[in-house]
Every structure is written in C-alpha cells, then in structure tokens.
Amino acid sequence: MKRYPVLILAYKRTTELELALNSLKQINPSIVYFHIHNAPENDIEGQRQVENVKKMIASYKGEKKVKYQKEPLGIRKSMYSALEWVSSEQEVFFVWEDDIVLNPNSEKTIAKYMARLEKEGGLLKLGEGRDSSVLDRKSTRLNSSHKLNLV
C-alpha cells in the first residue's frame, strides 16, 4: 500500500491519542504531522493534560513534524492553522482528530479511498456505501482550493 501523510489535530486527550496512534499503524503513514494548541491559562488541569500529550507526541517513533501553538486556539482556529500548515507541504493527506480510531483491517479500504482522492483532484466523500465503517467519526477533507469540508 502506498504510504500517505497524516495530520493529527491533538489537544488534551492522551488515552484517545494513544488509541488513534495504535490504529494508524495499519496504514503506516509516510509522516505524521501533529498540531496541538494549549488550554486556556485558567485551565491548569487542561494545561497539564496538554503537556502529557506533548510528551506522548515526542515519544512517537515514526517520522513526524510538530507544530505547537502556545495560545489556546479553539477548534476552528486550530483546524485552519493545521490545514494551512500541512497543505503548504502536502497535496494529499489524511486529517485525523486525536480521537479517531480505524476499525481493524481497514488498510485496503483506506488505500482505495486515497487512490481515488489522488485521481479525483482532492475531492472525496468518505463513509458512503459498503465502506462506511472505515472510520468511527465524521471525516474531514480538504478540497483542491484548500477550503475545509466536513463530510
């Protein structure tokens, strides 16, 4: 299977991130981009959790790039920041939130979707038909004009 880059939008969920990273082993990404932002300054527990996520990301063994935003961005700003960052380096890539887990043995279906994505110029709707069980949450895609589309 061809290897593709993956962008992971991480925040403060260590358990979920660990599960997501374990499930990603199925598709053996060429590189994982980790985008993480801080919790608000009045959320001491959240900041502690973000620090734990940063340690987990630092221990990731595969090829990776990390962008850490010190300020709390919120979901929308974080997503746009991450998409702008990775799309400046990659044309085709998966976008993963830190709590998305692949169903077991999904690698062939993922390979098929990614081949279609490349062929169809970056536009693809996941979760249709018999392959709808590949992901356990809504998937995110970037169209050819780099506008965010939620499917």
Q: Among 85-89, 104-108, 118-122, 143-147, name the one with the lowest average pLDDT.
A: 143-147
Three-point CA angle 122, 8, 51, nearest 5°: 160
CA-based Rg of the chain, rounded to a whole angstrom?
15
- pLDDT, residue 104, reads 78
Distance, in Å, from the CA atom of 10 to the CA atom of 127, rounded to the nearest integer, reads 23
Digit-coded pLDDT (tens) for 36-70: 988 898 999 999 999 999 998 998 888 999 999 88
- Pairing status of strand 148-150 against strand 140-142: antiparallel
Say how many residues make up the chain.
151
Whether the predicted pLDDT of 112 surpasses 50 = yes
